[in-house]
Structure 1
Amino acid sequence: MHTFPLHPACPDLLRLAPTRFEALLRAEAELVEAENHAERDRFETLNREEEAQQDGRGVTRRTVVTGAAATVTALATAQFATVRASFGATGGGTLIHVFLYGGLDGLSLIAPADDPVLARARPDLLLAGDSLAVGRGFQLTSAFAPLARYLRAGQLGFVPAVSDPRLSRSHFQAADACNLGGLPAETGGRSWLDSLVDALGPGTAFRAVGVGSTLPRSLVGTDAALSLTGVGSLGLNGDARFPAGTEKAIKGLFTDVNHPVEEAVAEGLAALGTARQLAAKPYQPAEGVRYEGIGTSFRTLAQLIKGGANVRVATVGMGGYDTHENQGTGPGGYLYRRLGELASALAAFFDDLGPLAADVTVMVSSEFGRRVAGNRGGTDHGHGGVVAILSGRRLAGSLLGRWDGLERLDSGDVPEYNNMFDVYGSVAQGRFGLTDAEVAKVFPRQRYNPIRLYA
C-alpha cells in the first residue's frame, strides 16, 4: 500500500514552496508521480504473474508496458489484421480504379463522329477536328494525345453509355453506389473493391491501397486497406518519439503465441520495413518520365509496384468534373485541360512501369455522365457515362461494349447500353482471371453479364 504524505490537504504543505499556490502545484505534481510509480508497480506484478502462467512460451509483456498506449493505438489501426501471406508472395497483377468526382461529360471524351444528334444538341461542345480516331466511327478528344501510342497498341479502350438504374442525379448518392457496387442496403455498406480483395485471396499489407489522405469509400469493408499520401507516410501510430520501441514491443508481444495473429503481425512489420526501404532513397522514375498534378498519386503507385509491394487493388480520386458552365471541351478549355492532366499522368505511369505495365490495368470512371444537350456552355447531370480502360493486356478494341446510337435518348440522356457493374466486373475478371460466379459475389443483387473487353 502506497501512501502520499504530500497530498495538498497535508498540514506541512507550505514547506514545499513560499506561497500556498506554488505549494499546491508542486504537491499535485508529486502526487501524480507517486501514483504513476504505484501503477507501474501494479503492472510489473501482473506481468510477472502472467509470465509465470505462460510456462516458458516466451511471451514477454513487460516490454510493452512503457509503450502501452502507443501499442494499443497501433494495433487499433488493424493494419496487420488481414495479412496472411509473405510480403510480395502472390501474383496476378494490379487493378487501379481512378474515380473522377463531379460527373464526367463522356461525350467530351469520346463521341460518334459527325453525329447529327450531337450537332443539334451541343454545337458548341463538339470534339475538335484534331481528335483521335477510335473504333466504330468514334473520335477521342486530343487532350488524350499523350496516350496515343497506347491507343495504337490496343491497350487503351472506352466503354460508352455506361450507367445503372440505381444511380440518381445526386453526386452523393451516385458516387456512393458506384463505390459500393450497389445501394448501401444491398451491399451492407461494404465496397465492391473490398469484396474483390476477398475473391483474390491472401495478400500483403499493400494489397489494397487508396492514394490520398483518407480511406476512400470504395475500399471500406472487412479487409484492411491502407490510405497513403506517399510511401513514406506508412508507419505505426503512437508516440512518434519511440517508433523503434513501439515496433519492438509489438514484435515481442506476438512472438511464440501459437496463434495466427503472430504471422499476421510478422508480415505486417515486414511490410513496414519494406516501406521504409522504399522511402529511404528518393524515388527516381524511368528516364524521361515526369509526374505533375494528379500524376503524383500515380508516382506513389509506381514506386510501390516497382518496389515489389504486390499491390492488388488501388484507388485514385480526381475532382473537378462538375461542369455546369464554361465546360471547355476544345483545346484550351477547362475540361480539356483537366482531361489532358489525367492523360499525361496515365502515360507517365505506364511509361514508368515499363515491362511491369503488362500486369496492370487502370479503369477510369465517374458517378454519372451528363445530359446530351448543352446548357449555356456547360452540361447538367445525366446518365450514360464513359469508362476508360488502360491495360497492359491487349483489349478487344478501342470502342468496347454495346452502342446503339443516339436516335432514342433516355429523358435527354445517353441510354444505358452497358451496365456499370457489368463493366466493373468484366474489367476485374479479365485482369485477375476470375470466374463468373466469383465476380457475381462481388456485386450483391446484381445479375452479372460479362462484357468482352480483352482480346
Structure 2
Amino acid sequence: MTSRRAFIKAGGLALFGIGIGGVPNFMARAAGSRKATGLYKKNKIMVCIFQRGAMDGLMAVTPFTDEYLKAARPGLFMTAATQGNNNPLIDLDGRFGLHPAMSSFAPLFKENRLAIVHGIGSPNNTRSHFDAQDYMESGTPFNKGTASGWLNRAAGLLGHDASPFRSVSLTSSLPRSFYGDNAAIAISNLRDFSIQMKGNPMAANMAAKSFEELYDQTSSSLLKETGKESFDAVKMLQKTDVSKYVPANGAVYPTSALGNALKQIAQLIKMDVGLEVAFAESGGWDTHFNQGTATGIFARNVTDLSSSITAFWTDLGALQDDVTLMTMTEFGRTVKQNGTGGTDHGRASCLFVLGNDVNGGKVHGNVQPLSVENLEDGRDLAVTTDFRSVFSEVAGKHLNIHNDKVLFPDWKGNTIGVMRS
C-alpha cells in the first residue's frame, strides 16, 4: 500500500507531460467529487532566479569612485556624475551606483525592500560555467557527487506536509537545484502544463507507469489518505484559463522568458495551490564581447531582469509579505575589460534580495579597492561572501529553516545580516 506521504514524495502527482485539459480521468473524477473550499494553509514563499552565464556584478552595481576600475575598463566604465551624462549610474550610497537600465529597482532600494550583496560567490575558484552552476545549485561547492539540490533539501526541511505544487520551476526541465527525493516539478508553460521529471528518479519511475496502473495500486489509500488538497490543486489548474490572467496593480511584465515565468509564478501564488519554493532562470549573461554600457547586451539583460522582477512584485500587491525573491549567478567577470569590448570569466559578482523582511536599502558585503594586490589571482573581484551565507539566511529568516547541516552540509560560516532580525 502506498502511503499519502510516499505517493506525494514520489513525484507530486506524477504529472508527466500532460496538458491542463489532459488531467487523468481518475484525478478529474476525484477532484470533481469534492468541493473546492479553502486549499492550503498560507505559507511563506521563496522565489529564486538563476542568472546563467555569469553576470558582471561590477557593471550591475558599480563602485564608481574606484579609480582602479576606471583604468581597467576604459570602454566599459560608467559614472554616477550627472553633468554632461545622459545615462548616469543611479547613486545608491555615494560609492555604489546601479546601472541606469535597472531604474525600476531604485524605488525598491529606497523603500528598504531591496538589498544588494556584493563580492559574493563560491569558495571554489572554478571558472567553468557548468561546474560553477552545479556547485551553486547543489550547495556543496567542493563535492561534485552530491545527488540533491539545495532547494530540494530546503523543501524537505519545511516541516509540514507538501502540496504537489510546493516546489515548482518555471523551466523546460527540472533545474539542478530541485534534484532530490522531495517532490518537485518543472512547468515550461502553465497553458501546456508540460512537466519534466528529469533528475528525480523516484518521480520518473512513477511516471513511467500508466496513470491507471498507478491508480490501481494506490486507490485504496489515496482517496482515504491523500485528502482533498492534491485533487483541489489539480482541479484548480484544470479549470483556470491561465491565458486570460490579468496582472494586478497595473503591472506590466516583459514578454521575455523571465517575464513570462515570473508572471506564471504570480498566478500560482494567487491560485493558492501550496507553492512554497519557486525557481526561474535568465540567460545570456556570458558577455565576452560587445558588452556595451548604457545600451547593448548587458543593458538589455538587466532591463529584462529588473523589469520582470518589479512587475512581479507590483503584481503581488498584498501578498508581498509572504514572498522573498533572490537572484544568483555562478560567478562574476574580470575587472579588466578584454580586447573585444567584453569581460571574461571571473570570480565574485553581486545578487539582489527583495522582500518586506529584507534588510534593504544597503549594499552588503566587502568590496575592497580594485587595485591589483586586492584582486583574486591578480585579475578578479575577490569572493568575500560565500553564497551559502546568504542562501542560508534567506531560507532561515523567511522559511524558518534552521538546519544548515542538512541544507549546506559542508558549510560552517556566518550570515551577514541581509535579512531583518
- TM-score by length of structure 2 reads 0.80
Identify which of 125, 133, 138 aligns with 1:175.
133
Alignment of 1:3-402 (within 5 A): 78-80=11-13, 88-129=39-80, 130-135=88-93, 137-183=95-141, 185=143, 188-201=146-159, 202-234=161-193, 254-257=218-221, 263-264=225-226, 267-279=229-241, 282-291=244-253, 292-293=255-256, 294-328=258-292, 330-376=293-339, 377-402=341-366
Deviation at 1:433, TM superposition (A): 2.8
Counterpart selection for 2:375 from 409, 427, 443: 409
Q: Secondary structure, in 3 states, of the residue corresponding to 1:344?
A: helix
Report the 3-state secondary structure (helix = DSSP H, G, I; strand = E; otherwise coil) of the residue aligned with 2:120: strand
Amino acid at match of 1:174: A
CA distance in 2: counterparts of 1:76 and 1:359, whole angstroms: 25
- Equivalents in 2 of 1:401, 1:429: separation in Å? 19
Closer, same or farther: CA 167–189 of 1 in aligned 2, 3 Å: farther
The question of whether the paired residues in 1 share the 8 Å contact of 2:111 and 2:361 is answered with: no
Aligned to 2:416: 451
Q: Taking structure 1 as reference, are residues 345 and 445 closer, same or farther at Cα in structure 2, changes over 3 Å only? A: same
Which has more helix, going by share of residues?
A: 1
Which structure exhibits the higher relative contact order, with contacts defined as CA atoms closer than 8 Å and separated by 6 or more residues? 2
Q: What is the match of residue 433 of structure 1? A: 400
The equivalent of 1:44 in structure 2 is none
Give how far 1:262 is off. 5.1
* Letter aligned with residue 410 of structure 1: E
Residues of 1 paired with 2:116 and 2:242: CA distance?
39
| Cα displacement (A) at 1:151 | 1.4
Unaligned runs of 5+ in 1: 1-53, 55-73, 238-245
Per-residue Cα deviation, 1:282-324 (whole angstroms, up to 9, x for no partner): 2111142222212001110010001112311111111101011
CA contact (8 A) 2:40 2:229 kept: no
Equivalent pairs counted in the alignment come to 367
Q: Cα gap change, 1:136/1:172 in structure 2, threshold over 3 Å: closer, same or farther?
A: same
Check the 8 A contact 2:45/2:276 in 1, yes or no: yes
CA distance in 2, matches of 1:131, 1:111: 8
C-alpha distance in 1, partners of 2:42/2:329? Answer: 28
Counterparts in 2 of 1:215 and 1:359: CA distance versus 1, 3 Å: same
Structure number, greater radius of gyration:
1
Q: Deviations over 1:364-403 (max 9, x none)?
A: 1111001101102100101011111121324254211333
- How far apart are 1:184 and its partner, in Å? 7.5
Which letter does structure 2 place at the counterpart of 1:79?
G
Identity %: 29
Equivalents in 2 of 1:393, 1:402: separation in Å?
22
For residues 283 and 173 of structure 2, the distance between their equivalents in structure 1, rounded to whole angstroms, comes to: 15
| More displaced 10-residue stretch of structure 1: 132-141 or 289-298 | 132-141
Post-superposition Cα deviations, 1:90-147, rounded to whole Å, max 9, x if no partner, equal: 4331111111111111101002122111011112112244211223621111111122
SS in 2 for 1:309: coil
Deviation at 1:174, TM superposition (A): 0.5
Distance 1:354 1:162 in 2: 30
Corresponding residue SS for 1:223: coil
**Cα deviation 1:159-212 (Å, max 9, x = unaligned):** 111122224000110010011101474662210001101111222111100101
Cα pair distance change 1:263/1:127, threshold 3 Å: farther
| Distance verdict in 2 for CA 1:157–1:187, change over 3 Å | farther
| SS of the residue 2:413 aligns to | coil
Instruction: Measure the CA separation in 1 of the matches of 2:370 and 2:224.
Output: 59
Taking only aligned residues, the RMSD between alpha carbons, in angstroms, comes to: 2.9
Aligned residues of 1:208 and 1:313 also touching (Cα < 8 A)? yes
Distance 1:147 1:252 in 2: 52
What letter matches 2:390 in structure 1?
V
C-alpha separation between the residues in 1 aligned to 2:131 and 2:223? 38
Deviates more, 1:173-182 or 1:123-132: 123-132
Counterpart CA distance in 2 for 1:236 and 1:189 is 21
Q: TM-score, normalization: structure 1? A: 0.74
The question of whether the paired residues in 1 share the 8 Å contact of 2:57 and 2:349 is answered with yes
- Does 190-199 or 267-276 show the bigger shift? 267-276
Q: Structure 1's 316 and 236: CA in aligned 2 closer, same or farther, altered over 3 A? A: closer
